[in-house]
Amino acid sequence: MKNLSCLCIVSIWLLFVSGVLILPVVTLAAEDDAIDFLEDDFYGGEPDPVEVGDPIEPFNRAMFEVNDFSYIWVFNPVATGYSNIMPSDIRGSINNFFYNLQEPVRCINALLQGRFSDAGTLLVRFLINSTGGVAGFGDPAGRELGFKAVDATLGETLGVWGIGDGFYLVVPFYGPSTLRDFTGTVVDGLALTPYYFWANGWEEKAGIYLTKELNKLSLHLGEYEDLKKMSFDPYVALRNVYFQHRKQIRDSPILLEEDRE
């Protein structure tokens, strides 16, 4: 019995680590409507130019292969089964709920960046969607009242403060990032911990996080595969997507509904 309990704990931990680190990689490619993978220019070379150096490319390529294998053989089949059971409307509402929980963190980052108008928008969105949107399952602030979603991360905040990116990094089971952006992602994630007040222990919190990421992945099934089919070098293609998406958010932080998913 003791061995069985230990096995369960280890299994939950591995699922938690995988959920924290792998699922974002397959949604990144879909987050930028402005990128057309069918255009020849997209594969003509590096981003114009690469914003951050890639001095550890051999390591990054190895981690890309690990992430790719894990997605194909583990998370894509699970997400596909989940999408067959759960209707798309319900999955969209679940995505709205978890997105709404992150609005206060975005609001603080917007304030720290001196974007006071965006901070006000984020605060209004959180208040309206948490009440009129039934705890955030709906998005009346954006759909009925015109308060569009706005992005603001700690990685961007650190950049505004003059802290450099460091270097391009493919995190095992997470995907493309930079040293600065991944640090910001971790801190932003830790800031959300108090919102999981309904969970009694880390096992339940891990389950909640996995549900969120699995639900998010189910909204983007097939998009990562399309990116791979249309690219001569998927590693470079995903790196391009990351930097182009980041540039788009920096130039215009207002998100389309598809970008939020």
Task: Note the pLDDT tens digit of each residue in 175-230.
Answer: 999 999 999 999 999 898 777 777 788 888 888 888 898 999 999 999 889 988 88
| pLDDT per position as a tens digit, 130-146 | 999 999 999 999 999 99
Predicted structure pTM score:
0.78
The Cα–Cα gap between 113 and 131 comes to: 27
Give the confidence band of 257 by pLDDT, cuts at 50, 70, 90. Answer: low
- Of 150, 146, 145, 141, whose CA–CA distance to 110 is shortest? 150
User: Is the confidence at residue 29, as pLDDT, over 70?
Assistant: no
Q: How far is CA 62 from CA 112, 170, 243, in A?
A: 36, 9, 20
Domain ranges of the chain: 11-260
Residue 251 CB: number of other CB atoms within 10 A?
Answer: 7
Question: Mind listing the pLDDT tens digit for each residue in 83-112?
Answer: 999 999 999 999 999 999 999 999 999 999
Arithmetic mean of pLDDT, 232-243: 92
Number of H helices and E strands in the chain, helices first, is 14, 2
Instruction: Please list, residue by residue across 57-76, b when 16 or more beta carbons sit within 10 angstroms of its beta carbon and e when fewer do.
Output: beebeebbeebbebbeeebb
Structure tokens at 116: 């006071």
